[in-house]
A and B are shown apart, each in its own frame.
Chain A
Amino acid sequence: MALLEVSGLQVFYGDLQAVFDMDFTVGDGEAVALVGANGAGKSTFLKALVGLNEERKGAVYFDGIDISRMPAEQVSRLGLIMVPEGRLLFDSLTIEENLLMGTVNRRSGTWTLRRVFDLFPILEERRRMYPGQLSGGQQQMAAIGRALMSNPRLLLCDEISLGLAPVMVEQIYRSFADIRREGTAVVLVEQDVKRALGASERVYCLLKGRVSLTGDARETNPERLTQAYFGT
């Protein structure tokens, strides 16, 4: 069984249905890109996986455990960790305290404060500062660091390049080599398709809440992907 197995997932957003009959798998240590236009249902899908959106139906297995009805705080303890869109750091905590929040779920592993600081040295310099005093890119590093502190088996990254300077995006994407070396699987939700494909093995494209294309990230026909992306 794959690390994450989703089949026939429906996700609702109030009265609206945002995700229809979705099948999705991630293998151990695999990197998967999830692309799609604004409003395609990518973020809603991730939130349903981790339990932040509880209006969902269908089968979701993580590491063989049924998590389709599990609340977010329990999902976190299994090692399915999300880096939320917009960073969403804790504003009244220092950067170091934000990182330490990742240890609350008591998952042991190779990621420690030391290792996160080695991965993103700027965070060590700014450890006593508050999120509001950091640039967007540095905040994103802190958000990723906080997730790493939970020693994830699968890291879900929601729009981590959104609104960041290209240099920053470059640096953050380079860090994935280190993250994946630990055997951590990664799901990259991106609007920047090229970037996501370059860092992944497989790709899913979402269109209006449905999977419109899936396949090998490097052999995907750009024309077909454009079609699947825009639905033209």
Chain B
Amino acid sequence: MIWVETLINGALLGGLYGLLGIGLALVFGVMRVVNIAHGEFMVLSAFFAVLLAAMFPSVPPLLMLIPVIAVSFVVGWAYQAVIVNRVIKSPDPLAPLLLTFGVSVILRNVMVEIFGADVRSLQVGELSRASLEIAGLSIGIMPLLTLVLAALLFMVLQLILRRTEFGRIVRATADRADIVRLSGVKPDRIYNYVMGLSLALGAIGGVLLAVRSSFTPFSGAERLLIAFEVIVLGGLGSFWGALLGGIALGMAQLIGLKIDPNAGLLYAHLLFFCMLLIRPSGLVSSKA
């Protein structure tokens, strides 16, 4: 019974991991750029949420998601427009990698400067301890909410990409960035929106993760690693794959912790490593 509970909790944690991955996957899928600073932006949004929660103690902390998402979208838009678009046409694939790496280093140090190196977390009070008893299993409300939210976001994102003109333009730009110009589309503008969307999704992941576990200005690298593993596990460019990849990682982590309480993320990383050897194309290898 305890194992069933572990598996379920792993799946719930996986929903959150899927969210960490999806923003990174979106940017990679559309502009073939791995945004190394994705993790730092997540941590930044968590700091912002903590700050807001301290300023408005009477407002439920989870409601802070709304302003954090909005600000993250704008930050992503500006980050792309001012910085990343400069190197995106470079024939050298290292250029965007180095640039976003540089941004991640700067962000980390700026956060230490502003917020200090203390360990923080977002307190949501009762909600973090509340749980449901179903058939003798204890399931946390907060992880359950997170998974539901993740699944919902995946669906909305999928709908936007599949059913709207914006989604068509994004997919077409991902296919052939030069040819969309013949249809009157400026690829740079689409990239701005996509980066905004990516950081907004990252912010949701970042804030929800801050409820579950504490963070410092140095947590970005770990978040990026999870996000990266999620999308590689799921199959690059596949959205539902990212959710599946997240769930696989979450389960591996919690099973690992059960066997060896000091393991941390070791078993999740091992799963990732084994998958790379067995099935490098990911769980879902078709295009989403």
Q: Which of chain A's residues have a CB closer than 8 A to the CB of B180?
A: 90, 101, 104
Contact of B179 with A76 in the complex, beta carbons under 8 Å = no
A145 to chain B, nearest CB (A): 13
Closest chain A residue, CB of each to CB of B169: A104
- Judged by a CB distance under 8 angstroms, whether B287 is at the interface is yes
- Pair A82/B172 contact, Cβ less than 8 Å: no
- Tally chain B residues at the interface, Cβ within 8 Å: 18
| Contact across chains for B175 and A92 when beta carbons are under 8 A apart | yes
B261 to chain A, nearest CB (A): 45
B260 within 8 A of A: no
CA distance A225 to B185 in the complex (A): 39
B32 at the interface (CB under 8 A from A): no
For the complex formed, measure the closest distance between the CB of A87 and the CB atoms of chain B, giving whole angstroms: 10
Taking a contact as CB atoms under 8 Å apart, the answer to whether A76 and B168 are in contact is no
A182 to chain B, nearest CB (A): 19
Which A-chain residue is minimally distant from B174 (CB atoms)?
A92
- With contacts A73-B186, A100-B165, A104-B165 known, is A93 near B172, CB below 8 A? yes
Is there an interface contact between A73 and B181, defined as CB atoms closer than 8 Å?
Answer: yes
Cβ contact within 8 Å between A81 and B182 = yes
Main secondary structure, interface of B, reads: helix
B-facing mask of A189-227, CB < 8 A → 1, else 0? Answer: 000000000000000000000000000000000000000
A72 to B183 Cα, complex, angstroms: 9
**Contacts of A117-165 to chain B: CB distance below 8 A:** 146-147, 150
- Is A100 in contact with B186, judged by CB distance below 8 angstroms? no
Does any Cβ of A come within 8 Å of B171's Cβ?
yes
For A77, what are the chain B residues with a Cβ–Cβ distance below 8 Å?
Answer: 184
The proximity string for B residues 167-195 relative to A, scoring 1 for CB distances below 8 Å and 0 otherwise, is 01101101110111111111000000000
Partner of A90, one of B179, B181, B186: B179
Q: List 19 A-B contacts (CB under 8 A).
A: A51-B181, A71-B181, A71-B186, A73-B181, A76-B183, A81-B182, A82-B182, A84-B182, A90-B171, A90-B175, A90-B176, A92-B287, A93-B175, A100-B165, A101-B180, A101-B183, A102-B183, A104-B165, A106-B184
Interface residues of B (CB under 8 A from A): 165, 168-169, 171-172, 174-176, 178-186, 287
